[in-house]
Chains A and B, each alone.
Chain A
């Protein structure tokens, strides 16, 4: 894996980001390998190891360039056997809504 990376603070790092360089602690011990995909557990553990900056691979997630109309069209195709608002199939309807929120990056009430 070669590619540009930028240093980000631990507070800005999110699960799913990819390390662009091997990560070592102050004694030089390897904490995580290059290319590691960060998880919530890892981020918590890095905090405990005194890590405050991380080399994050740039453009690790090409999600910014989705075309919402295309995404919606594909979702409609995957759910083509399920009519919206069918009460007998409500669980599928909720899952569909969650997946749409996820794929289209809709703000979710927390």
Chain B
């Protein structure tokens, strides 16, 4: 059951769209001179999105000592970058329908994505890279899998069967059954949703961070993805640690002590954020 390039593009266009304001936030992710008050107003028109964002803002991992009640307050106390990240997380996790493809574990998918987001952010902090961009890239790195599952649920059920029979990697299962993989689908979605170039690169190269020009963000997400699989956090019975690129590992340049702290932070943040985002 192969999927052609046209079918992939068509599938992406049939997806539920993100609120316009979130698309705006994602496409300008490196741009800092956005009119914040206009954005805060636009977000606050969407009540469900606002409520989820504020719950995230008030979660204990951010350590705010006051409770924020509006998006504008969140921006004042947490800063624009962090608030943007929270809005994006709240919007993206609510955008795809669950349970379309029998056998696909939506919960494990989101636990993996949220943990990779938290881990990417912790890595970025240690490497003095933009933490909010790293969080969002970690959250979205596998979003192509949801594109395939949502757009082609029956075909994806075959991918699940193939993977289980061969005990292989997702990428190999997708290529064998569909002829395209979640990286292709993620890049197609990134185009459709008008993600920034940095974000697109991170999605495109998170399995191949040693590719020339892949960028540092792809290396961060690659290592975070491997760490999260290795920590066995998603709740998948047949969890499989992927091969870790030595180039990406070396680029992190961290010692064991730093990694043990990173593991601890990732686990804590996963539990707290998943309680809010998957509610």
* Assembly CA distance A79 to B61 (angstroms): 30
* Assembly CA distance A36 to B64 (angstroms): 11
Q: Which of B227-273 contact A (CB under 8 A)?
A: 227, 229-232, 239-241, 243-246, 248-250, 256-257, 259-260, 263-265, 268, 271-272
With CB as the reference atom, state the residue of chain B lying closest to A30: B65
* Assembly CA distance A52 to B211 (angstroms): 51
Interface size on A (CB < 8 Å)? 34
Q: A36-B60, A91-B249 are in contact. Are A102 and B260 (CB under 8 A)?
A: yes
* Assembly CA distance A78 to B242 (angstroms): 9
Most buried by B among A37, A39, A42, A98: A98
A15 engages B257 (CB within 8 Å): no
* Assembly CA distance A33 to B63 (angstroms): 10
Q: A78-B241, A91-B246 are in contact. Are A45 and B63 (CB under 8 A)?
A: yes
A92 engages B243 (CB within 8 Å): yes
- Shortest B125–chain A CB gap in Å is 11
Q: Which of A61-106 contact B (CB under 8 A)?
A: 74-75, 77-82, 89-92, 94-96, 98-99, 101-102
Contact of A31 with B by CB under 8 A: yes
Contact of A27 with B by CB under 8 A: no
- Residues of chain A contacted by B60 (CB below 8 angstroms): 32-33, 35-37, 39, 42
Interface size on B (CB < 8 Å)? 31
A110 engages B240 (CB within 8 Å): no
* Assembly CA distance A78 to B228 (angstroms): 11
* Assembly CA distance A81 to B241 (angstroms): 8
Report the number of A-B residue pairs with Cβ-Cβ less than 8 Å.
87
Instruction: Indicate with 1 or 0, residue by residue over A7-40, a CB within 8 angstroms of chain B CB atoms.
Output: 0000000011000000000000011110111010
A98 engages B63 (CB within 8 Å): no
Select one of A37, A90, A98 contacting B61, CB under 8 A: A37
Which of B's residues lie within 8 Å of A, judged by CB? 60-61, 63, 65, 167, 226-227, 229-232, 239-241, 243-246, 248-250, 256-257, 259-260, 263-265, 268, 271-272
Which of A's residues lie within 8 Å of B, judged by CB? 15-16, 30-33, 35-37, 39, 41-42, 45, 74-75, 77-82, 89-92, 94-96, 98-99, 101-102, 108, 110
Supply 19 A–B pairs (Cβ within 8 Å), ascending by A. Answer: A16-B268, A37-B271, A39-B61, A39-B268, A41-B63, A42-B63, A45-B65, A78-B241, A79-B241, A80-B167, A89-B243, A92-B226, A94-B249, A95-B227, A95-B241, A98-B260, A99-B231, A102-B231, A110-B257
